[in-house]
Structures are given as structure tokens and as C-alpha cells.
A and B are shown apart, each in its own frame.
Chain A
Amino acid sequence: MKLTAEEVRKVAHLARLGLPDEDLEALSTELTRILDYVDKVGELDTEAIPPTAQVGDVVEAFREDEVGASIGTDAAIANAPASERPYIRVAAMQE
């Protein structure tokens, strides 16, 4: 089932991904092909099978809640495109 341009636009918005109108058609075709391929998973009977979220041997990782060394404010904001120490500057939440 082909994804509609509207569905693609909606997913792009959920992903906070700007999408030029001219890319919509090609992207919906590509995504549809990928979804058609991964639909193959549906052939497997997973009725009584628990999901796997992690394959490691760590179940819970606890540590003492202690203050340790940190990189400091200057290093932390050094990569920010816009900053006013000690803050990072962002655009307005609303117009």
C-alpha cells in the first residue's frame, strides 16, 4: 500500500524534518518500497514470543549518585551555534 503524500508529510513533521514539496512523491515511493520489503517480518509467527529490546548481559546498571568531574560550562556550550554564556540561545518558541 503506497504511502500518500499526506502521510509522508505527517511523518516528516513528527520527525521535525523539513521536506521540500518536490521531494514528496519520490520519497513516498522509496519509503513504500522499503515498507513493502520489511513487511516480510509479518510472515513470522511471534504469537508467544517476547520482544528483545537489549541483547547485552546487563539487566540494571546502578551506581552511587555522586558528584563527579564534568567538562564545565565553556566546553559544554563551545559547539552551540548561538550562545550567551552560560546560556545557549534558541529561537522563540512561538512567533
Chain B
Amino acid sequence: MTADLTAGIAELGRRLRAGDVTAVELADAALGRVEQVDGELHAFLARTPELARESAAAADAAIRAGNADALAGVPMAVKDVLCLEGVETTAGSKILKGFVPPYTATTVARALAAGAVPVGKTNCDEFAMGSSNENSAYGPVRNPWDLGRVPGGSSGGSAAAVAAGAVAWAFGTDTGGSIRQPAALCGIVGLKPTYGRTSRYGLIAFASSLDHVGCFTRTVADSATVLQAIAGHDPMDSTSSRHPVDDYAAALGGGVKGLRLGVPREYFVEGMEAGVSDAVRAAIAALEKEGAEIVDVSLPRTDYGVAIYYIIAPAEASSNLARMDGVRFGHSAPDAKTVIDQYMRARAEGFGPEVRRRIMIGTYALSSGYYDAYYVKAQKARTLVRQDFDAAFEKVDALVCATSPTVAFELGAKTQDPIAMYLNDVLTIPADLAGVPAISIPCGFSEGLPVGLQVIGPAFREDVVFRVAATYEGITDWSSRVPPLAEAVA
């Protein structure tokens, strides 16, 4: 069908330019699909039909004039931690209910400038803190492959929306795995670029040294198209890099012949499901057959990643979330007698249990007497994690491994045990700590649920990551699989 959004950006763009479908028709199809599936998925927190039709009309005009950009006319969604001017942005938190940002995040603005058609803001764990989307103050998202299971988190709404064919692509953010893990659990492509490759301006900050803006797409080529549009230096984010942006599309067809791909032995962790490790080993064997040299490597500090992360990320979050005080925006306690009382009550009422836990851990780790033992110690340990990657990339061009040790789990399975939930991210956290680019692509199924293959590259080598991922994608048909829910509406 011409308006089937599971076709992806490249194919929809071709149909738009051929005149088979208009952007306004695609926008209406996307909005209709959101209406059809979102009662079950709960992937969206806000819908933007007017903005979608307005952007689509502009895209149609550009297409007719022959000067449309790569994302023109293609429906997409924005994770609710990224500001979109004039549209309520809550970060999945009650404390920001009603907050309407007066400006748009740089990455989102760049996508809009390239013709993207936003149909809504997607549900996520509160302030992007979670691995199952069950920490959203507005209720969980469900996995389109099995409505009794989680989509992963924290960008679960974006992943579910793309997997279900409600939009062709979506923005996500990744601090400890929040793009790659839900991409794996929903059977789509999820990219976390190098730290500083994409601007954080307009992203509601969780942990500033770990926050990355990236995307969910159906194909690796689409991922490259989105990154091309949103990457690059931004004077509004002092950590955004001036490193030149490569031509990512040019990297896609290179194949893996002659590439050295490392398999980190620590990434086949205890507790990994057999179906996951089988699918990942088969994918690695397939890459070897394509001509890659497979090399056994060690990232010896892997097992410490989660512990390091759960000191540094909460520490930064406790500082970043200090701005949620009910003064300039957000929930307040209007009858409080003093300003301190106002802060205490607004924050007690506005934050959910996981955010409260992390603010408490972070404040403790930064407090007098514990700062060196926790925060500085974790920062030093972070250096060791980076050194692990540096040493590995002296021997290999990229690393290949699983994205998540399990497939999508049932709702409620891990909500009572924060540590079990944190350990979901054992294979994704290290790339955030080191700031290196990584992608998750579909590599098969285990018990009917998608499994993700992770490709990790050296800093600013997204081209290599795309090249490996595109090669694997090209020899399999996993990325064309859609959940029954998407087939039903297509």
C-alpha cells in the first residue's frame, strides 16, 4: 500500500517524488494509524494534527517545486523529552504537565527544516529514567509484538510507534541504552551517535555527560538519512562537536570484506537468554561469511559499567533536575508559606518513585563525605571503561554483540526490583560511558520476539557502524518483518 509507513523514509520519499502519494495523504494515514493502534499501545502523549498537516502541505509544495529535502513529507514522532515549540512537553513526568516550551530543540528543528512531518510526542520513562517505559507518569507503553510485554525504555513510545507503522521514524534519546534497547525489543533500527555529534539543546537534561540524541528507523539507510539531517555543530550546545559530518549514505554499500570485527567476550553475559545468544552468534557468523575477519576481544571492565553508570547518571540528574522547582515552569505548591516549602512539596508531588530514587542516590553521591568515594571514584572508573574501548579499537574496526541480554519481558516483571531493571542495560551502558557510536538492528527472533544485534564503532565513525549494519541488513530480511498489529492496519 502506498501509505504504509513501515515502508520507511527512502521508499516513502520515492513514492512522494513519483507522485504516487502526497505528504498530506501520508500525514492523514499516520494520524489515522495512531488513532487505530494507540488505544492499545499508548505510545503517544500528544498528537499534533495541525502541525502535521501544515508541515505536510509545505513538503508537498517543496516536492512539486523539486527542492524537497531527504525527510520531506515523511511522518515522524518526537520523544517527549525533546522540546517542540508550542506543543506540551512533559518528559513523561507529572511535574512538567502543561509545560509548553517556547523554543524547539536543535535536532528537531533541523528535521523540520528538512521537511519532516511531526504527528506527535511519544511516551517515555519519566525524564528518560527506565528500561521498560513503566516509569512514565502517564502509564506504560506496550510492545506491538506482544501487548503483554514492555517495549523497552526509556524511548519506548518512539520504538513502539515505528514498529507498529504509526510513523516512519522517530526521535529517541540514549543515556544508558534508551534508544538501542527499545529498538532491539521492538525489532527496528536504533542509532545512538557519538557524544557531541548531535546537539542536546532543547533536550530536557537527564545526565548531561551521557545524553545522546538519536533515532529509530526501519532501515539502516534511513538511520543514515536522519543522522545526516540532524548532526553537526550547534553554537547552543557547548559540548557539540565541530568534527566534520561524514557522508553517511556513501558508507552504506562498502561491505565488510577486509573489516576486522571484534566480539567482546564479556558481552555474552551470565543470564543472557539462549535465543538471544544464538541469534547474535548466527549474525556474527553471517558477517564472517561476508568477508569480515572476526576477532575475539576483551572489554574487561564491562561488568562494572552498570555500577559506574548508577553513580554518575544519578549525580548529574540530581543537579539537572534541581530546575524542576515549580517556579519558572511546572507543577507548584501555590499555598506554600515559604519558597523552600514550595520546592519540597512541588517536587514531592511531581516526581515519580524512580526519579525520586535517582535524585536521592545522586545527591548522596555528591554530598560532603561521599563525593570522593562515589562520584570521583566512578569518574575514574569511567576512564577505565573508555580505555577498554580504546584498546579494542586499536585491534578492530568495530564491535559486534547483543544489544539486550533478553527479549521483551512482561509488564510488571521487574518493577519491584530496581537492580534487576538496571541490569537490562549492561550491554548498552558502556558505549554511553565512552561516548562511542552504536546501533541496534534486528537479527532474528526468540520465542516470537525480536532480538537486536549491536554494532559499536570508534568515536565519530558512524560510517563504519552503518557499513557493518547495512551489510548484515542486506543479507537478511529481518527488517521487513512487522508485528501482526502493523499488518492489521496496513
Is A63 in contact with chain B by the CB < 8 A criterion? Answer: yes
A16 touches B322 (CB 8 A): yes
Segment 13-59 of A: residues with Cβ below 8 Å from B: 14-20, 27, 30-31, 33-35, 37-44, 46, 49-58
Q: Which of A19, A34, A52 counts the most chain B CB atoms within 10 A?
A: A52
Q: Pick the interface stretch among B65-73, B245-253, B305-313.
A: B305-313
Closest to A27 in B: B360
A55 touches B386 (CB 8 A): yes
Residues of B within 8 A of A27 (CB): 356-357, 360
Check A34/B378 contact, CB under 8 A, given A12-B360, A61-B239: no
Is B347 in contact with chain A by the CB < 8 A criterion? Answer: yes
Is B334 in contact with chain A by the CB < 8 A criterion? Answer: yes
A57 touches B459 (CB 8 A): yes
CA distance A27 to B355 in the complex (A): 12
How many residues of chain B are within 8 Å of chain A by beta carbon? Answer: 75
A51 touches B376 (CB 8 A): yes
Residues of B within 8 A of A53 (CB): 209, 379
Residues of B within 8 A of A95 (CB): 337-338
Check A33/B348 contact, CB under 8 A, given A41-B377, A91-B342: no
B363 touches A11 (CB 8 A): yes
Check A31/B360 contact, CB under 8 A, given A55-B435, A81-B334: yes
Is B340 in contact with chain A by the CB < 8 A criterion? Answer: yes
B418 touches A82 (CB 8 A): no
B363 touches A93 (CB 8 A): no
B337 touches A71 (CB 8 A): no
Residues of A within 8 A of B349 (CB): 18
B360 touches A46 (CB 8 A): no
CA distance A55 to B263 in the complex (A): 23
B344 touches A56 (CB 8 A): no
Q: Pick the interface stretch among B28-36, B97-105, B268-276, B404-412.
A: B97-105
How many residues of chain A are within 8 Å of chain B by beta carbon? Answer: 54
* Distance to closest chain B CB from A21 (angstroms): 12
Closest to B351 in A: A17
A46 touches B384 (CB 8 A): yes
A42 touches B377 (CB 8 A): yes
CA distance A12 to B359 in the complex (A): 9
**A51 contact from B301, B337, B382, Cβ within 8 A:** B382
B238 touches A61 (CB 8 A): yes
Q: Pick the interface stretch among B144-152, B216-224, B325-333.
A: B325-333
Residues on A facing B (Cβ under 8 Å): 3, 8, 11-12, 14-20, 27, 30-31, 33-35, 37-44, 46, 49-58, 61, 63, 71, 75-82, 88, 90-95
Leading 4 A-B pairs by shortest Cβ distance: A55-B435, A18-B348, A51-B379, A79-B329
Residues on B facing A (Cβ under 8 Å): 98-100, 102-103, 195-196, 209, 235, 238-243, 301, 304, 306-308, 310-311, 318, 322, 325-332, 334, 336-345, 347-349, 351, 356-357, 359-361, 363-364, 367, 373-374, 376-384, 386, 418-419, 422, 433-435, 459-460
18 example contacts (A-B, Cβ-Cβ < 8 A) are as follows: A16-B340, A18-B347, A31-B360, A37-B419, A38-B310, A41-B377, A46-B377, A49-B383, A51-B376, A51-B382, A55-B433, A56-B240, A56-B241, A71-B102, A78-B102, A88-B327, A91-B341, A95-B337
Known A14-B367, A55-B434, A71-B102; further 19 A-B contacts with Cβ < 8 A: A15-B359, A18-B348, A30-B357, A31-B360, A34-B357, A35-B364, A38-B311, A40-B304, A43-B304, A44-B304, A51-B382, A53-B379, A56-B196, A79-B98, A79-B100, A81-B327, A81-B334, A90-B339, A91-B341
